[in-house]
Amino acid sequence: MSNSHADELRKARAAFVEDRRAHITEAVGLLPANRHAAFQEVREALDLQAEIEALDRAIRDEETLAERPKGTG
């Protein structure tokens, strides 16, 4: 059974993963010349990682809710 809420969360997660990867690529490109800017890019990537982990929890929650009989969740 399709769970549209979980599907939407998965789409958001995929976008965040793409952004995280872009920040890391940018950070690597800045090294070693501009360590401060590279550090800022890594911080952005880590912030995104925290959001990705929150989305993973939300996806699991939506999947659990979808498995419950109606009216119990």
Average pLDDT, the chain: 94
pLDDT at position 1 over 70: no
CA atoms within 13 A of residue 22's CA, in its CB half-sphere: 7
> pTM for the whole thing?
0.86
* Proportion of the chain above pLDDT 90, given as a percent: 85
21, 46 in Cβ contact below 8 A? Answer: no
